[in-house]
Amino acid sequence: MKPDVDVGRRRLLLSAAALTAVPIGLGSEAIAAETKAPPGATAFDVPEDATKTMGRSLLEDGGYGQRSQFETEVRIKADNPNDMTSWSFTPLAATIGNLTPSGLHYERHHGGIPTIDPARHSLYIHGLVDVPKKFSMDDIKRFPSLTRKYFIECSGNTLGEWSRPTGKTVQVTHGLLSTSEWTGVPFATFARQVGLKDNAAWVLAEGADAAVMTRSIPLDKLLSDGLIVYGQNGEALRPEQGYPLRLVVPGYEGNMQIKWLRRLQVSDRPFMTREETARYTGLMTDGRARQFYYAMDAKSVITFPSGDMMLPKPGSYQVRGFAWTGRGRVQAVDLSFDGGKTWTPARLDDVPEPMCTVRFSCPWYWDGKPAILQSRCIEDSGYVQPTRAELLPLRGENFVYHYNAIQSWAVAADGSVSNVHV
């Protein structure tokens, strides 16, 4: 699993340099003509002195807005032969703050991105209910809503690291992780509308994409904090994130957060769909497969410095990263600069919230000698993110999903940073 070779970090850095460099003898008009703006932006002439030139007029962007032409970070896609069933990675190292911009939220699709008219879309709830009902988008938006910050992580995040270091950058190793502010209606509100039978215990969620993605979800979890979502980061969901309606199951693996949600069927047992039998199960060391393993375990990663970066010289640096857990809140993060021999507490830059990422930071003086940087997450239950040596005996190298071992970045004497296992 790796990004296309022509869209790596080096190319993005070169793109930024190309946008800001001024070739000798070229005016701003020539620069603009030769420069192609990154996605989401437009290339404009750059005046020698912005105080001497009038800026652009109001709503010249059409009324929606765009990012600066000097911001070049994008998602990168997996090197798969079929882009209809593939994924893209969030540029974690470039994220500012704790929320992922909607346009940079990672993707995972099984049948492409459908185009759905919200006026024709509805949510049907049936099965072990008193009164089956169909809700239009207008019906859904009339209910009282909630807004909550939650991360979503694909259970295949970091799957290439089970046996050996494979991802060169943090975008590839951990980029199937994003955090958004979600707005929608609690599932419990719909449960009251339809009524639940006494033997109701599971819910099948179904999407309206070409794959007709389905997953069985425990009813108790949905009643606790499940959200039927139509908003993301202050606007409607993006099409690639499930427009016009998706399910958010806080802390559970990404495949259960059904996008383009159209149906919820209540039952007394799980439905044993393809995605919870042939897929999204973990092969144990004894040959048995572990099913219904939903919550994402405590995990963390250093985003600076991280793989494929270069520290220019010895000196003081601010180590930064993310920590998260699907089983509660992040309580603390420890950092090691010697491969796990000693640990020091990191600063939490955010107030920990349930099932939400937390940014951490810590000053570090690099003396120019080789070093191995690690982070470990401690959740409020007391669980501590394991080392590889602790995780592998429990699951083996063929578990595939839910890899949450401590990530190691090696800083060489020349300042280059690489992905290593220790």
- Cα angle for residues 237, 292, 405 (degrees, 5° grid): 80
Tokens coding 62: 């059409």
- The residue written with tokens 């191995």 in the block is 372
Tell me how far apart the alpha carbons of residues 218 and 163 are, in angstroms, rounded to a whole number.
32
Tokens coding 121: 């879309």
Tokens coding 300: 């963390």
Tokens coding 276: 């919870």
Query: 3-state DSSP call for residue 254?
Result: helix
Tokens coding 168: 């060169």
**pLDDT per position in the chain (422 positions), as tens?**
444 333 343 333 333 333 333 333 334 444 444 568 999 999 999 999 999 999 999 999 999 999 999 999 999 999 888 899 999 999 999 999 999 999 999 999 999 999 999 999 999 999 999 999 999 999 999 999 999 999 999 999 999 999 999 999 999 999 999 999 999 999 999 999 999 999 999 999 999 999 999 999 999 999 999 999 999 999 999 999 999 999 999 999 999 999 999 999 999 999 999 999 999 999 998 889 999 999 999 999 999 999 999 999 999 999 999 999 999 999 999 999 999 999 999 999 999 999 999 999 999 999 999 999 999 999 999 999 999 999 999 998 999 999 999 999 999 999 999 999 99
Contact present, 270 and 276 (Cβ < 8 Å) = yes
Q: Which of 413, 416, 414, 411 is nearest to 339 (CA)?
A: 411
Rounded alpha-carbon distances, angstroms, from residue 78 to 23, 88, 166, 175: 35, 6, 13, 11
What phi, psi does 353 have (nearest 5°)?
Answer: -120, 155
In the prediction, which pLDDT does 36 show?
87
Tell me how far apart the alpha carbons of residues 299 and 407 are, in angstroms, rounded to a whole number.
9
Strand partners, 204: 216, 265
Compute how many other C-beta atoms are within 10 angstroms of the C-beta atom of residue 337: 19
In the prediction, which pLDDT does 9 show?
38
In the prediction, which pLDDT does 34 show?
54
Beta-carbon contacts of 301 under 8 Å, excluding residues fewer than 6 positions away, are 92, 170, 173, 174, 321, 322, 375, 407
Tell me how far apart the alpha carbons of residues 276 and 203 are, in angstroms, rounded to a whole number.
13
Give the torsion through C-alpha atoms of 6, 12, 13, 15, to 10 deg. 100
What phi, psi does 197 have (nearest 5°)?
Answer: -70, 160
Tell me how far apart the alpha carbons of residues 116 and 208 are, in angstroms, rounded to a whole number.
9
In the prediction, which pLDDT does 81 show?
87
Contact present, 180 and 105 (Cβ < 8 Å) = yes
In the prediction, which pLDDT does 79 show?
87
In the prediction, which pLDDT does 4 show?
38
Chain-centroid distance, C-alpha 325? 13
Integer-rounded Cα Rg, in Å, for the chain is: 23
pTM, whole model, 2 decimals? Answer: 0.91
